[in-house]
Amino acid sequence: DAMVIQNPRYQVTQFGKPVTLSCSQTLNHNVMYWYQQKSSQAPKLLFHYYDKDFNNEADTPDNFQSRRPNTSFCFLDIRSPGLGDAAMYLCATSGTRGYGYTFGSGTRLTVV
């Protein structure tokens, strides 16, 4: 089945230690998104790629960066995680306009 896969499902990292979350898709969608979601809140868009065109949200901290080496993969890098960065990180993809996003299962990040 075509899908969006996020690895790992759970990630524990130390305060200040760089961490990378990964997302892959088999849908061949040209747009990929990264969201941060804290408990019982709506997802907050961090950035998205339209093909290789990177789009950062104005309030996304500099601590968060992303890479998209090809259509299928996208990575979220957190350079120096703080306690406030503990959250669920959701990857989503989008193809044709008018359709909703397809979400991955998310990576729950814990910072210790």
Partner 1 sequence: AQTVTQSQPEMSVQEAETVTLSCTYDTSESDYYLFWYKQPPSRQMILVIRQEAYKQQNATENRFSVNFQKAAKSFSLKISDSQLGDAAMYFCAYRGMEYGNKLVFGAGTILRVKS
Q: Which stretch binds partner 1 (CB under 8 A): 12-20, 61-69, 71-79, 92-100?
A: 92-100
What are the φ/ψ torsions at residue 41 (nearest 5 degrees)? -120, 165
Quick check: 96 binds partner 1 (CB under 8 A)?
no
- 3 state DSSP class of 74: strand
Task: For the chain, give the number of residues.
Answer: 112
**Phi, psi (degrees; rounded to nearest 5) at 58:** -60, -35
* Binder of partner 1 out of 32, 64, 106, 109 (CB under 8 A): 106
What is the dihedral sign for C-alpha 96, 104, 66, 63?
positive
Query: Any contact of residue 99 with partner 1 (CB under 8 A)?
Result: yes
Q: Closer to partner 1 at the Cβ: 28 or 41?
A: 41
Strand pairing category for 102-103 and 87-94: antiparallel
- Name the residue with tokens 């089945």: 1
> For partner 1, which is the closer residue by CB, 3 or 15?
3
Kindly state whether residue 58 participates in binding partner 1, applying the rule CB under 8 A.
no
- Where do contacts with partner 1 occur on this chain (CB under 8 A)? 33, 40-43, 45, 48, 50, 55, 90, 97-106, 108
